[in-house]
Structure 1
Amino acid sequence: MRYVIIGAGAVGGTIGVRLADAGHDVTLVARGAHLDAIRRRGLTLRTPDRTATWRGPATDAPGERPLPADTVLVLTVKSQDTAAALAVWADAPVAGGGTAGERLPLFTAQNGVANEPAALRLFARVHAVCVWLPATHLEPGVVVANGYPHPGMLHLGRYPAGSDALDHAVAADLTGAGFVAPVRDDVMRWKYGKLLANLGNGLQALLGGDVPTDLRDRVRVEGQAVLAAAGIAHTSTEEEAAERGDRVGHRPVDGQERSGSSTWQSLARGVGSTEVDHLNGEIVLLGRLHGVPTPANAAVAYAVRRAARERIPAGGFPPAELAKMIG
């Protein structure tokens, strides 16, 4: 199988370089200064025990030639960029006829739970991936992955449910590349559990490392209440911890701990957008649909949008102002 990694940032860059190192055919998709850097000097992946530089094909869109029929597309862009990426790749021609949306599998290795239904509108074969992969992308051409002894855990399964032979084949490739890659028929249950964990990302992006426990608890409790009202199953923190065990921990890279969550990284890079509306905003949406108040998640979503819009630096939002907004 050939892999096209759509979004060569922290998650996509780590997956792409590790798959390529394991001998697989990989093409990275990036944009702007990051794409320029990859084309000039490759993508450097720094980990706790080594540094590797991948040099291979990189692009920002499908080329003029049809995609090979054995291509697996792996979507790793932030959730706010999903719609644009799907629009670019869904109608790409495939060798032998048809389009990518009709013929090729798409694996959604992303935070949040809105990417899969969006993808299913355009792709007939959607596979969800629950991502536990502590990595950082702040500098063009460089990804830092702190996961150890394995770089990450990636649960795979068909969307909306079930699994198939392709899930097991991709899981075998990921396992050979060093990841822990369980196949789960209930992969969305794992993704909803991860969504609850990600509700603290916005708080950490706003306040930095010292987020009061009561604030983390408030956004999570709201999230749990919403999922219960909606009848949506999710994993527990205990189940998740038992699954990871000591297989995916955090280690410093070149003496540095991981800087922050994916939302923190978006503010740190000043890109002008974050995935908060697909994390805390997902809870707000479900709360409104099912009559459950979600004031803390709504306040966090608004504050992160404001920080992105006004270029407030990561960790620089006034704590007193946030506390007043949450109430």
Structure 2
Amino acid sequence: MRYVIIGAGAVGGVIGGRLAQAGHGDVVLVARGSQYEALRDKGLRVETPDGPHTHQLPVVAGPEALGTLRADDVLILAVKTQDSAAALAAWGPRPVEGGGTAALRLPLVCAQNGVESERLALRTFQRVYGMCVWLPATFVEPGVVRAPGAPLSGMLHLGRYPSGSDETARAISADLEKGLLEAPVVDDVMRWKYAKLLANLANSIEAVSGVLTSEEGIALFRRARAEGEAVLDAAGVAYASQDEEKATRADKITFEPFDSSPRGGGSSWQSLQRGAGSIEADYLNGEIALLGRLHGVPTPINDVLQELADEAAREGRSAGETSVAELVAAVDARCAAIVD
């Protein structure tokens, strides 16, 4: 199989790099702008506790550069969810050798936070797979990504969407596991992705107020998560428990500093730091808000987190410009308004 990594940023870069390091020769990276130029000119540098690894992999700026896709291609969608619709529209109609299109014939794996991309993909793609990405990774600079996890770089639960598993999922898993990425094949991948969604409700707090280290920030996340759990319970959505997640990961992925760089934040924090102009809050806190409205559960905490994260992205603010105290005050005011 050839892996086409659509979105060779932090997560996509680490997946592509680990596949290449494990000896999988057929990996194509898809990137734009300065990332495309750096990957083309200097290769992909993946910094990990077992050393820096540079891979000279084929890189393209879009599907047109690949021409007709191969029948054994696997598309790994690793863009942010807010960019999914454009990527799906670009890749779905591409012709595949032997006839048909990518949407008709090729497997598409959604290696993303949130739970919306799989649903978007299934409107046009017939073979959609969900991937729950537990993969601490950072976009350092164009062409350079960092993965501090050890002894494994990450854990990637994988399965058919909306449910089930098959030989394709098992083949993908086998390739990933050669590269220090554990990839359990499960029939209920969305149960794992909803659990990750709950954890990702911290992303907006981190992006707006900085890496979560204070008790005040952690307490706010617990409130957002409790609200999220209440919404998922009301909607009848199953999710893996925190105890199950902890037992599954055990000590397989721990942060292992390997240079003097301070630990940065997650994907939303990185979006603000890079001045990306967009953030995934609409598909994290916004998913809870959506389900809350559908099922009659107020979501003032996640509403405020979504609004402030979106505002920070629109206005080009850097991560951490708003204090945790200001964020808590805004949340408390919204909660009080609902009570009144």
Question: Considering the TM-score relative to the shorter chain, is it more than 0.5?
Answer: yes
Deviations 1:276-314 (A, max 9, x none): 110000000000000000001000000001111112211
Give the structure-1-normalised TM-score.
0.98
Give the structure-2-normalised TM-score.
0.94
Q: Structure 1: how far apart are the matches of 2:208 and 2:258?
A: 24
Contact 2:46 2:147 (8 Å CA) reproduced = yes
Q: Structure 2: how far apart are the matches of 1:80 and 1:165?
A: 30
Contact 1:101 1:123 (8 Å CA) reproduced = yes
How much has 1:135 moved relative to structure 2?
Answer: 0.5
How much has 1:242 moved relative to structure 2?
Answer: 0.3
Contact 1:136 1:258 (8 Å CA) reproduced = no
Q: Structure 2: how far apart are the matches of 1:226 and 1:93?
A: 41
How much has 1:256 moved relative to structure 2?
Answer: 2.8
Q: Structure 2: how far apart are the matches of 1:176 and 1:249?
A: 19
Structure 1 residues 84-103: aligned runs within 5 Å:
84-103=86-105
Residue of structure 2 in register with 1:301 after alignment: 306
Deviations 1:60-90 (A, max 9, x none): 2112621110000000111111111111100
Contact 1:138 1:269 (8 Å CA) reproduced = no
CA distance 1:99–1:311, change in 2 (3 Å): same
Contact 2:7 2:31 (8 Å CA) reproduced = yes
Q: Say yes or no: does 1:137 pair with 2:139.
A: yes
Q: Structure 1: how far apart are the matches of 2:167 and 2:61?
A: 30
Residue of structure 1 in register with 2:266 after alignment: 261
Deviations 1:254-283 (A, max 9, x none): 233531110000000011101111000000
Structure 1 residues 116-195: aligned runs within 5 Å:
116-195=118-197
2:261 is aligned with what amino acid? Answer: Q
How much has 1:122 moved relative to structure 2?
Answer: 1.3
SS in 2 for 1:182: coil
2:57 is aligned with what amino acid? Answer: G
- Unaligned residue ranges in structure 1 (runs of 5+): none
How much has 1:177 moved relative to structure 2?
Answer: 1.3
Residue of structure 1 in register with 2:240 after alignment: 235
Q: Structure 1: how far apart are the matches of 2:258 and 2:269?
A: 18
Residue of structure 2 in register with 1:246 after alignment: 251
Q: Structure 1: how far apart are the matches of 2:109 and 2:192?
A: 15
1:271 is aligned with what amino acid? Answer: A
Contact 2:60 2:66 (8 Å CA) reproduced = no
Which deviates the most, 309-318 or 38-47? 309-318
SS in 1 for 2:245: helix
How much has 1:322 moved relative to structure 2?
Answer: 1.8
Contact 2:137 2:146 (8 Å CA) reproduced = yes
Residue of structure 2 in register with 1:5 after alignment: 5
SS in 2 for 1:74: strand
Which deviates the most, 312-321 or 266-275? 312-321
Contact 1:157 1:185 (8 Å CA) reproduced = yes
2:20 is aligned with what amino acid? Answer: A
Which deviates the most, 123-132 or 248-257? 248-257
Residue of structure 2 in register with 1:32 after alignment: 33
Q: Structure 2: how far apart are the matches of 1:306 and 1:78?
A: 18
How much has 1:225 moved relative to structure 2?
Answer: 0.3
2:110 aligns with one of 108, 111, 115:
108
- Unaligned residue ranges in structure 2 (runs of 5+): 333-340
Which deviates the most, 55-64 or 114-123? 55-64
Contact 1:135 1:258 (8 Å CA) reproduced = no
2:138 is aligned with what amino acid? Answer: T
Structure 1 residues 278-293: aligned runs within 5 Å:
278-293=283-298
How much has 1:208 moved relative to structure 2?
Answer: 1.0
Q: Percent identity?
A: 57
Q: Structure 1: how far apart are the matches of 2:125 and 2:81?
A: 16
Residue of structure 2 in register with 1:274 after alignment: 279
Q: Structure 1: how far apart are the matches of 2:304 and 2:22?
A: 44
SS in 2 for 1:137: strand
Structural RMSD (CA) = 1.0
